[in-house]
Chain A
Amino acid sequence: MRRAFEEELDQLHVRFFQMGRRVNEAINKSVKGFVNHDKEAAKQVIEEDAVINQFEHDLEHECIELIALQQPVTTDLRRIVIVMKAIADLERMGDHAVSISKSTIRVKGTKRNEEIEQSISDMADIVMQMMRDVLDAFVVDDAEKAVAVAQQDIKVDRMRKEIYQRCIEDMKKDPDLVLGATDYMLTSTYVERIGDYITNICEWIVYLDTGEIQELNTHHHVDDELKN
């Protein structure tokens, strides 16, 4: 009986991993599309979001059935609960990729700043690496790695602030940049939020290991936010 249940759990985690890869592809495509002003890539991300939503729907359904039919406890229960929580995080990341793509469509033709775009691309590279690492940590239940991945989010937050400041300065200097820079600020915020969702998943991996919900990313402070 255990074996059959464990096979179902393994399948659930494989499908979660597949959903994670799909989301990472969407993030990659949306940021590349934004930087390269690629409207077609942006359209694809928006269209393909339905696949991510379907993944979430199906996995949620599978989790509910597993809980109802197998009545798991302790680690088994946590294994299912973390999938339910983490798929919601993944789905939100997919939505942010869509928002970035909408910016791409909107921003085309307005005045650009290649340096800021490069910074957004660099920031997204870190987030995508975080995503690959968190999925690896998820597969092997590596709480230590999850904690290390969450640490990377501090760097992402810092980059977002730098981009924000840069945009403000550029807008002051050149009002023609206002429209484009607003999208830069929005897009960098979307990427930063994706980092936060990855941190959430790191927290679920730690929860699986310890049974305790632990806040990993505690660098957000009211004072910092007021400065912005």
Chain B
Amino acid sequence: MAVRPIETDVTKTSIKKLPENLTGVISTEDLHVYYGDFEAIKGVSLEFPKNQITALIGPSGSAKSTYLRSLNRMNDEIKGAKVTGKILYKGRDINASDVDVYSVRKQIGMVFQRPNPFSKSIYENIAFALKRHGIKDKNVLDEAVETSLKQAALWDQVKDRLHESAIGMSGGQQQRLCIARAIALKPDVLLLDEPASALDPISTAQVEETLLELKENYSIVIVPHNMQQASRISDYTAFFHLGNVLEYDETRTVFTRPAIQATEDYVSGHYG
């Protein structure tokens, strides 16, 4: 078999628009992110579908996590970072300077790579943010804790030890607690940055199963920790390369007959 050289032309792109039967929930238009003089994201325009899972894939340094963090203004926290372009959510540019970022993050929640539960009880981990948002009624808090834990497929395992420390939970349970904590605020969009990379295969499978159930109620954008996770759970996939998106389409298309050679080389494991 002849060995074909890896595609080096990364100027070709194929960005599919969402079909008419899907509604967009959040989108970016010509989004650029700069760290000082370095342009990490070079004008990305994408629209994410409602109640679907979208995976951002690409080699290390392709800026997929940077892009994900832009979606709920997390890059604002990084000194020297500048974000230009539009992030459109509910008809409004949430990248505008007058937008309350805390309100944005309430509706566009994020779960990080490593489980980071608070050093509090399981119950308090979820109730904490709700209390900060002014909810004091115990019945309301109880119900929110139960609902969130159920949605994160954790309720049955922890319902009898809600007031024990979250730190004693397994890694997979801690990560699902973090997902429960994020959804307690009833966000529209859930952003996940390699949420299973620190987990063993069984915990990874549990988190993936949870995400598939959550998409009924939430729109999910995920940076998966490997391509297999993207292919297993996502509906749409965006292929990032050096701060650009080269291809965006249904996952089944990206992983069976991608439109451009660079995507094919990457998903086939020729580089990355």
Contact = CB atoms under 8 A, between A and B. Distances in A.
Interface in A49-72: 64-65, 68-71
Contact of A68 (B206, B231, B233): B231
B205 A69 contact: no
A2 B209 contact: yes
B191 to A, nearest CB: 20
Interface string A66-98: 001111000000000000000000000000000
Contacts of B255: 68-69
Nearest to A62: B252
B179 to A, nearest CB: 15
A1 B256 contact: no
Contacts, number: 32
Interface in B232-261: 232-233, 251-252, 255-256
Interface residues of A, number: 11
B228 A2 contact: no
Interface size, B (range): 10 to 19
A68 B233 CA distance: 12
B39 interface: no
Nearest to A2: B205
B212 interface: yes
A222 interface: no
A65 B209 contact: no
Given A64-B256, A65-B256, A71 B209 contact: no
Interface in B190-210: 204-206, 208-209
B49 to A, nearest CB: 17
B212 A1 contact: yes
A64 B251 CA distance: 13
Interface string A1-36: 111110000000000000000000000000000000
B252 A69 contact: yes
Q: Binding site of B, secondary structure by majority: helix, strand, loop or mixed?
A: helix
A8 to B, nearest CB: 11
Contacts of A1: 204-206, 208-209, 212, 232-233
Contacts of A68: 231, 252, 255-256
A52 B252 CA distance: 24
A70 B209 CA distance: 13
Contacts of A64: 256
A70 B231 contact: yes
A48 to B, nearest CB: 29
Contact of A69 (B204, B206, B212, B232): B232
Contacts of A69: 231-232, 251-252, 255-256
A71 B252 contact: no
A1, A65, A68 interface centre (most CB from chain B within 10 Å): A1
A33 to B, nearest CB: 40
9 contacts: A1-B205, A1-B209, A1-B232, A4-B209, A68-B231, A68-B252, A69-B231, A70-B231, A71-B231
Given A1-B206, A1-B209, A64-B256, 16 more contacts: A1-B204, A1-B205, A1-B212, A1-B233, A2-B209, A3-B209, A4-B209, A65-B256, A68-B231, A68-B255, A69-B251, A69-B255, A69-B256, A70-B232, A71-B228, A71-B231
Which 5 residue pairs of A and B lie closest in terms of their CB atoms, listed nearest first? A1-B208, A69-B231, A1-B205, A68-B256, A1-B209
